[in-house]
Each structure stands twice: as structure tokens, then as C-alpha cells.
Amino acid sequence: MFRIAFARDREGAYPAEEFYDHLPIADKVKLDQRFRILGDLGKHTNPEMFGDLRDGLYEFKSFQIRMPFAYAKNERRLVLISHGFLKKKDKAPPSEIERARRILKEDAQASNVIEITDQNKKRKRP
């Protein structure tokens, strides 16, 4: 099982959560289905539901709705969703890909994940 979480930006906001909260219920149901698939399987194979944005960045897809995500580097079995947007062209705009990378980087810097080098230390994530 993988955990799915919204990434936090440097201001402490959760852009993906804010985007998701403003979606109509029908769109939330479709995205929740995709979240469950990834959470249960840990991988994605359906190109209609998941996209590969390259270099470790992927996206949940539902019609024009896109929510970029990445597998957390410092924490096993965790998927972080950066933000959401409505796609207007065939490919995700470079500005949205850069925004996703920035938010994920900010989340990693603020996450307080402690690398386990000593059995007395524990991992934590606020």
C-alpha cells in the first residue's frame, strides 16, 4: 500500500488540496478512483488515467483535470501530489511542470524527514 498526500509549499499551503477541494463532486470521485488504484498497486499503467511527465514526475488525469505527482524520495511508499490545473492543450504546459517540481522541492525541504542512521532515531513527517 502507498500513501497519497498533498505536498506543502514554502508558505505552508497545500496547492493540490486547495485545487481538489474546489472540484465538483463528480470530478473528485474520478480522481479518488485514480488515487485508490495508485495507492493499492503502487504503480500506474493506464495512460488514460495516468501520464508520465518525465524525470520522475507523473500526473493523475481525468479529462482536462491534471494533478502532477511524484514518489517521495525520502519516504518509502509515499506519493506526493503537487497541485492541480486544467489542461487546455495536448501536453502539460512547461510552466505547470516547473511549478510541480518547485512545490515538491519545497515540500522535501520543509518535511523534517529524518534519515534513519541510528535505530534510536525515528522518521517523522509533520
pLDDT in tens, 17-57: 999 999 999 999 999 999 999 999 988 889 999 999 999 99
pTM value is 0.85
- Provide CATH code, domain 3-110: 3.30.2310.20
Residue 102's pLDDT is 97
pLDDT mean over 4-15: 95
Residues in CB range of 103: below 8 A, 6 or more apart? 7, 9, 15, 82, 83
Residue 39's pLDDT is 93
Residue 112's pLDDT is 56
What residues does each domain of the chain span?
A: 3-110
pLDDT digits (tens, 9 = 90+) for 109-126: 887 544 333 444 444 444
Q: How many other C-beta atoms are found inside a 10 Å radius of the C-beta of residue 37?
A: 17
